[in-house]
Structure 1
Amino acid sequence: MSDSSIVGGAPAEPIAASAGGRRPIGTEDWWAVAIGLFAIVVAYILFASGGSIKWLAVAPAKWASVGQLAADFGAHAGSYVALFVVFAAVFSVAIAALRLPVRQFIPGFLVLFIVSALIFAAGAWTQASTYNLEPPLIALALGLIVSNLFTLPAWLAPALRVEFYIKIGIVLLGATLPLTLIFWAGPVAIGQATIVSLVTFFVIFGVARALAIDKRFAAVLGVGGAVCGVSAAIAIAGAVRARREQASVAITLVVVWAIVMVFVLPGISRLLGLPTGIAGAWIGTSEFADAAGIAAAQAYGDYARHASGAVAGAPEASLQAFVLMKVVGRDIWIGIWAFVLAIFATTRWERDPADRVHGRAQASEIWTRFPKFVIGFVIASAIVTWIASHYSLADYRSVVTPAFVAPIVALRTWAFTFCFLSIGLTTRLATLTGTGVKPLVAFTAGVAVNVVIGYVLSAHVFAPYWAGLGQ
């Protein structure tokens, strides 16, 4: 699913890890769902009573001079302080419940918030689109530069919670994607995702086996490329009992290609002049992680917004198509692959006959591996669909969107920016050279197939669906 960070060549400690041996309360996925839905419910209660959270969901306005930027920051200083306090308080509840050190989280999050605000400001520059200075790309590039040229202080690490931020952002994203749109394009997304998941997996697995790579390692590589990147690699490694270093190699390859695709896919889409919906679907089919893909899709949407009609389609359609393709379509395959490969691993691949399981694998494995934040995404979409049903289209756009939806979009963008910056700050390029040639060849074969099939399906086979998104 989303990008887990790479620090020193190994996966960073997941947020659900407990401190001091104490059992965490809940899981990262469920806390992301709770926080996202809490924000949406509060926003609606204020909206229904005639208010709004617009004053809290602040972001820099467009500016052409440093003086304008400084004046805007000064005028909204109280809102920025309040937003930080709210974010820190709500996130700290989850951090504490997951038995992680809250005192270490707060200082690092303060730095993350300040830098994210500056990144927002850079993206609000009137000339930003001319130089392709889109906030997601700035966050990733800045993080990569800092983390690879300097040694980050240890106290900053607890705040760099990549998966936590992206899952919250995806739940908030549901509030901008009505169920009617999901029902309309969802079957197409699932069908396209099924084709890509099966073809990409068997290409990587087949090439890996031809190169004499162990079956378990080949399975981890295959699902890492076919489904949702890092989380898939971790889940499948556990399901087939792969070695820890094999999971680390797969994660490294996923992160490398995910970062490459963040810049390559929007760039090629611009050269080809793809409509926003088609570009978003292609990114959703060809990217390897939620966070990196959202960065790419959002960057293309921002480009379309400032391109003065040079790109067809609504700017938001890029992100909508990506979510339908990646979150609704591909991410659900992680549970299916974990279930199927667990059967193969336990019935055919076990080296010790005593460890083989001849009965059926438990169907609960699918639920265990299922990304729970997708449930939050659907619930958020259902809430907004219900709200929209009480308004005409004109009233929805003139009343509901500015007072209710737009502030949620702003909060979503903050969460995504925290995530993109965290990815860059936790990725060490020097550790990416130890993956070995054979795994690299196998995974890269899947990348090539993935990108080509994704383009054909998005720009030709299912083009009418994706081109009409958001219209």
Structure 2
Amino acid sequence: MVTVSRPLLPGLALLLGLGLVARLLGAVFPLNHLVVAILLGAAVGNTAGIPGLARAGVGTHKLWLKTGIVVTGASVALDRVVAAGPRVLLLVGGIVAATILLVEALARVAFRIEGETASLLAAGSGICGVSAVVAVAESIDADETAVAYAATTILLFDALTLVAYPAVAAGIGLPDRVFGVWAGLTMFSTGPVAAAGFAVSKTAGEWAVLVKLTRNAAIGVVAVAYAAIYARHRGGGPNADRGTLAQLWTPFPKFVVGFVAVVAVANLGLLDAGNIDSLANAADWLFLVAFAGLGLEIRVAELRETGFRPVLVVLVALLTVATAGLAVVQTVF
């Protein structure tokens, strides 16, 4: 029997309540209930705010997101993944490298943003959003102001792309698989990628999550690379004495292991169609609760306070990479 800590209950009730309202509105109006959950959460969070009593429970939304992604593995057809595997790996490697190098160049050369902030913007844009910002910040012992600056900029684009990407898909009639691969390759944080993908379709969502998790796996390598570069310039660093494997594993998103395990179990035939359908339904509810929490934590005032130079750097890089990436994905898939 699963027990829930009493301090978590008010926040969990708030998340579930917002999710239920989002489902109701999605059934009445031609709106995707996952997107509605984010919008409702943002509306509540920026008007009434999160009650102190509910803060602990609301903070669990990242756990539900990761659990939902793990459960989604049951719906992934491994034969499709294997067929697309080499193409996906090449695309991920190219996009990650191109984005990081482009953001670093734009920040340092065109917009005169020096040091840690440029690197944190590059990591957040190139890999997995705020998670990458935090991981690389830890590996290079970045200043807290640089972390806050980069994280806020990335959150701004998480909010913008969550709306813009599905709108582009509808406007130009992108096939579901193409959209999912494109979103997974070029959007920033895992939550908005999953939300945008499943807002388009189940197929788009599965491909978006699959590609995004592949991209997330690069976080360990990039964190180690930045640690080595900064340690050399500083003559050593906070993580210089740690082994390479430890440096790779610490920032690695552990839920990816669970996702891969569920994919393996499902594709070995250990789950029947009824089990897979039940897990898909469970994933939908987990995403619903998680996205309500994601919306609650969006702060419009904080996004407005972000300086224009980091925003311009990421905007130019995103438009460049997203446009080129879409052309490549349409050709390859």
TM-score by structure 1 length? 0.67
Q: CA deviation at 1:437?
A: 2.1
Q: CA deviation at 1:354?
A: 6.8
Code of the residue aligned with 1:432 in structure 2: it is L
Q: Does 1:345 align with 2:243?
A: no
1:362–1:278 Cα change, 3 Å = same
CA distance in 2, matches of 1:152, 1:369: 29
Equivalence for 1:42: none
Q: Secondary structure at the match of 2:244?
A: coil
Equivalence for 1:327: 213
Code of the residue aligned with 1:364 in structure 2: it is A
CA distance in 1, matches of 2:245, 2:10: 43
Q: Does 1:171 align with 2:70?
A: yes
Equivalence for 1:433: 304
Q: Does 1:379 align with 2:261?
A: yes
Q: Is the 8 A contact 1:169 1:413 kept in 2?
A: yes
Q: Does 1:226 align with 2:115?
A: no
Equivalence for 2:105: 206
Q: Is the 8 A contact 1:196 1:453 kept in 2?
A: no
Q: CA deviation at 1:453?
A: 2.3
* Residue of structure 2 aligned with 1:367, choices 239, 249, 258: 249
| C-alpha RMSD of matched pairs (Å) | 2.0
Equivalence for 1:215: 115
Q: Does 1:113 align with 2:13?
A: no
Structure 1: gaps of 5 or more residues:
1-85, 93-101, 302-315, 391-399, 464-471
CA distance in 2, matches of 1:185, 1:370: 23
CA distance in 2, matches of 1:387, 1:421: 34
Matches within 5 A, 1:227-266: 227-266=127-166
Code of the residue aligned with 1:180 in structure 2: it is D
Structure 2: gaps of 5 or more residues:
none
Aligned length in residues: 331
Code of the residue aligned with 2:11 in structure 1: it is G
Q: Secondary structure at the match of 1:439?
A: helix
Where does structure 1 differ by over 4 angstroms across 4 or more consecutive aligned residues? 353-361
Instruction: Out of 251-260 and 176-185, give the one that drifted further.
Output: 176-185
Code of the residue aligned with 1:144 in structure 2: it is A
Code of the residue aligned with 1:405 in structure 2: it is I
Equivalence for 1:43: none
Q: CA deviation at 1:433?
A: 2.3
CA distance in 1, matches of 2:118, 2:326: 25
Q: Secondary structure at the match of 2:298?
A: coil
**Identical-pair percentage:** 25
CA distance in 2, matches of 1:319, 1:277: 9
1:452–1:387 Cα change, 3 Å = same
Which of these two proteins has the greater Rg computed from alpha carbons?
1
Q: Does 1:287 align with 2:287?
A: no
CA distance in 2, matches of 1:386, 1:364: 31
CA distance in 2, matches of 1:357, 1:134: 44
Q: Is the 8 A contact 2:124 2:132 kept in 1?
A: yes
Summarize deviations over 1:295-351 as a string: whole Å, max 9, x none: 1111111xxxxxxxxxxxxxx3211211221112x1111111001111101112x1x
Q: Is the 8 A contact 1:259 1:292 kept in 2?
A: yes
Equivalence for 1:404: 275
